[in-house]
């Protein structure tokens, strides 16, 4: 097991905070787009922000959950929900589906990095670590879409999503195996995952759909 310096753990926590905020914002925007009330917007924001990390902690048997260890995350997401709703209402912003794709892509990259890291720290096999990163990055968005009565974006828009997470996770594992500094591994994973997703959206790359 590689030893993780204090600054490395601080960096990982900052990345997790950024991922939580990015996914919370994607949930808030989706709730606003669906014209939910204040409780509904907050609920969708919290599910998007904490769903993937909670499932990861359950699978890795990590207690207490990350948002219980860092209760400031709960307050932060609640404040973000309130501020975002006030801004959207005061500015009369019309939220589109495209608007929520970019914070979603950023949150995907950030959460894949933290999920993969958590599994590697526990000396789990490489494939398991990559899958933990994928679960952490994808599950929150799936819960967000299900609660909003949509087929999850990860399953139906045909633009690479989980594949981007899978690729980013392997980048992290490869750099970890080479004993690369932690900040390099984290940054590379985020850039590859979010970058591939961003390119897929920008260039409209599409996976072939199932045809009978």
Model pTM score: 0.85
| Euclidean distance between CA atoms 97 and 120, whole angstroms | 35
Is residue 140 classed exposed, middle or buried when 0-12, 13-18 and 19+ CB atoms within 10 A define those classes? buried
| Euclidean distance between CA atoms 177 and 193, whole angstroms | 19
| Euclidean distance between CA atoms 55 and 136, whole angstroms | 7
What is the full per-residue pLDDT of the chain (212 aa) written as tens digits? 454 444 456 777 788 888 898 899 889 988 988 889 999 999 999 999 999 999 999 999 988 998 998 899 999 999 999 998 888 877 766 666 676 788 888 889 999 999 999 999 999 999 999 999 999 999 999 999 999 999 898 888 788 999 999 999 999 999 999 998 888 998 999 999 999 999 998 888 888 877 76
Does the CA dihedral 146-163-64-26 come out positive or negative?
negative
- The DSSP call for residue 207 is P
As given in the structure block, the two tokens for residue 71 are: 């209760």
- Nearest Cα neighbor of 100 from 182, 45, 55 is 45
């Amino acid at each position: 097991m590689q030893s993780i310096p204090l600054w490395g753990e601080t960096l990982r926590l900052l990345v997790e905070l950024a991922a939580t905020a990015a996914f919370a914002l994607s949930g808030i925007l989706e709730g606003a787009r669906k014209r939910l009330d204040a409780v509904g917007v907050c609920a969708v924001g919290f599910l998007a922000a904490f769903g993937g990390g909670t499932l990861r902690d359950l699978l890795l048997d990590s207690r207490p959950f990350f948002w219980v260890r860092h209760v400031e995350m709960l307050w932060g997401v609640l404040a973000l929900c309130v501020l975002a709703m006030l801004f959207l209402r005061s500015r009369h912003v019309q939220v589109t589906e495209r608007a929520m794709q970019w914070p979603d892509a950023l949150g995907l990259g950030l959460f894949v990095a933290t999920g993969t890291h958590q599994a590697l720290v526990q000396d789990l096999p490489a494939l398991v670590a990559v899958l933990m990163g994928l679960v952490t990055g994808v599950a929150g968005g799936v819960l967000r879409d299900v609660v909003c009565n949509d087929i999850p974006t990860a399953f139906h828009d045909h633009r690479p999503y989980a594949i981007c997470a899978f690729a980013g996770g392997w980048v992290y594992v490869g750099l970890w195996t080479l004993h690369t500094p932690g900040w390099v591994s984290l940054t590379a994973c985020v850039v590859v995952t979010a970058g591939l997703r961003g390119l897929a959206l920008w260039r409209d790359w599409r996976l072939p759909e199932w045809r009978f």
